[in-house]
Amino acid sequence: MSPLPSAPGLDPKSQWQRFCSLLWHNSDLGFWLDVSRMGLDSGVLASLKPGFDKAFAAMAALEGGSIANADEQRQVGHYWLRSPELAPDAASGDHIRVEVDRLEAFGRDVLSGAITNGAGERFTDVLWIGIGGSGLGPLLMIRALQDPGAGLPFHFFDNVDPDGMRRTLASLGARLKTTLVIVVSKSGGTPEPHIGMLQARRAVESHGGNWSTQAVAVTMLGSRLDQEAAQGSWLARFDMFDWVGGRTSITSAVGLLPGVLIGSDIREFLAGAAAMDAATRVPELMNNPAALLAAAWFHAGDGKGQRDMVVLPYRDRLEVFSRYLQQLVMESLGKKLDRDGLEVHQGIAVYGNKGSTDQHAYVQQLRDGIDNFFVTFIEVLEDPGDIPPLEGENPGDFLDGFLQGTRSALTEEGRFNLSITLQRLNAHSLGALIALFERAVGLYGELVNVNAYHQPGVEAGKKAAAALLDLQSNLEQVMADQREHTLLDLQQKMGLESPEPLYWILRHLCANRRHIDAR
């Protein structure tokens, strides 16, 4: 690590002691967290202690099975997924264990060819249909853990963009007949995965495939999707749990099923998450890495999210991690109201990509521009052994040099930054990294008194979209008389305060030749 910058009137020895106190290290995990460059000092940490004492108690109650998501009257149990013995009742713990066993056996049999497409042909590809955390979690697993040639190649419907669907289906072509299609929807009623499922089924069957022997559902027991899969005799169904939110579902079937289908060790992934859970369960601020992380966020943003979180992982395999954290952090903490009903507009904006590529895109502003952020560097110490130095130049050395150089340049300008270091990147360390941020988000939510486990803004957007689709249906009925209509005429007939939504709908219909003349 580069040395701490000198500070006037501060003895170098005391600087080093402060640095050591703000460096958390766990040799068993091969994990370091350095928050020494986030402006934390003894006064700041002392002021945060009462808040953290309450936060630790709240997290212990959450893990014990209390109703942590009061708005929806739900427990919050993603921590039980990697430690079933902590589930508040034996039946839930057994259910978790059974699901992991089933997932592992299913993935093993698909990869070995024991499970085929019904025509005796081995599966060649996976088409994953999921939105939000049900898409980002699997994408992170695949990008971070899949080795070349291992497991099955994955393709995604993670949007309702018809052009994206067209391109994905075209890339599969005749292999749609040997493609395993996995549909993920916790409630079973989310429109996006349902629309994707309909398009996938049409494409599979048009290429001679058999939907029932190629389709897999990941959903809650008894949901609309679960019932459809049961009635249609789908190949397999795997359970999601009411007490696991989409953004924290990566250690459920949502992340484990992709893990087994790429040949990764999901037991190690779960073990890494469980080990970090244990480390972040310690009720002492200075000895808890998630608490140190949350304290750094709180101090940097004055407890109001006044600084953005810039995530810079210095490995291509972690390129998706910043997108994953966007949902985890922003959906959890971005809230208008606190638990007391006060208007607080909390949240931390998250953006980033990867170093060193993308430091050329925005490090100039990070160093010299507006000071409204803090950087999270993520490094991996061990390089792959099959990329040798050539002409005396080692790629890993340059990558590390760029990270340390950028870190020093930001520190020289007084810009907040923290560093997370992994000894190596594998299933175990990825599980630990995810668990660290999950706990930090939970603790920070307690510090600022928001419900980190609901998403009223997302639900409001879904309701608004549904209302506009209903409006479009009504508009098409009004225009079915084949007469010319003006916007004003349509507005009056439909009793709208403004013609604007009609204009937007008509513009889309006209662009796709689905219109009756309107002026």
Spans of the chain below 50 pLDDT:
1-10, 13, 517-519
Helices (H), 156-220: 162-172, 191-206, 211-214
Angle at the Cα of 328 (from 326 to 329), degrees rounded to 5?
70
Peptide bond into 356 cis (omega under 30): yes
Q: How far apart are CA 438 and CA 324, in angstroms?
A: 11
Domains 27-73+279-383+395-454 and 78-268 share a fold: yes
**Nearby residues of 242 by Cβ (< 8 Å), 6 or more positions away:** 74, 75, 220
Is 72 labeled as catalytic in the residue annotation?
no
The three-class DSSP label of residue 240 is strand
* Active-site position among 63, 192, 331, 446: 331
Residue 10, pLDDT score: 43
Residue 16, pLDDT score: 54
Q: How far apart are CA 363 and CA 369, in angstroms?
A: 9
CB 142 within 8 A of CB 318: no
Q: Pairing mode, if any, of strands 373-380 and 417-422?
A: parallel
Domains in the chain: boundaries: 27-73+279-383+395-454, 78-268, 457-511
* Active-site position among 49, 304, 336, 360: 360
Supply 116's token pair: 């085929």
The three-class DSSP label of residue 25 is strand
Judge residue 499's burial from the number of C-beta atoms within 10 Å of its C-beta, 0-12 exposed, 13-18 middle, 19 or more buried. Answer: middle
Is 49 labeled as catalytic in the residue annotation?
no
Q: How far apart are CA 88 and CA 445, in angstroms?
A: 23
Nearest to 423, CA basis, from 294, 272, 292, 255: 272
39: left (phi over 0), alpha (psi -120 to 50) or beta: left
Query: Which residues is 312 bridged to in the sheet?
Result: 377
Q: How far apart are CA 284 and CA 291, in angstroms?
A: 8
* Active-site position among 194, 207, 462, 515: 462
The three-class DSSP label of residue 34 is strand
Nearest to 184, CA basis, from 233, 244, 129, 229: 129
Residue 343, pLDDT score: 97
149-to-107, 145, 426 alpha-carbon distances in Å: 16, 12, 17
Question: Hey, how many other C-beta atoms are within 10 angstroms of the C-beta on 116?
Answer: 16
Complete DSSP assignment for 72-84? GTB---GGGGT-G
The three-class DSSP label of residue 230 is helix
Is 515 labeled as catalytic in the residue annotation?
no
Q: Residue written as tokens 């407890």?
A: 303
CB 424 within 8 A of CB 379: no
343 DSSP 8-state letter: B
Domain boundaries 78-268, CATH class:
alpha beta
CB 450 within 8 A of CB 339: yes
Domain boundaries 27-73+279-383+395-454, CATH class:
alpha beta
Residue 18, pLDDT score: 62
Model pTM score: 0.91
Backbone angles phi, psi at 259, to 5 degrees: -60, -45
Question: Hey, how many other C-beta atoms are within 10 angstroms of the C-beta on 312?
Answer: 27
b/e code 260-285 from CB counts within 10 Å (16+ = b)? bbbbbbbbbbbbbbbbbbebbbeeeb
Angle at the Cα of 502 (from 496 to 503), degrees rounded to 5?
135
Could you report the per-residue pLDDT of 130-153, keeping only the tens digit for each? 999 999 999 999 999 999 999 999
Question: Hey, how many other C-beta atoms are within 10 angstroms of the C-beta on 348?
Answer: 24
Q: How far apart are CA 166 and CA 471, in angstroms?
A: 27
Q: How far apart are CA 471 and CA 478, in angstroms?
A: 10
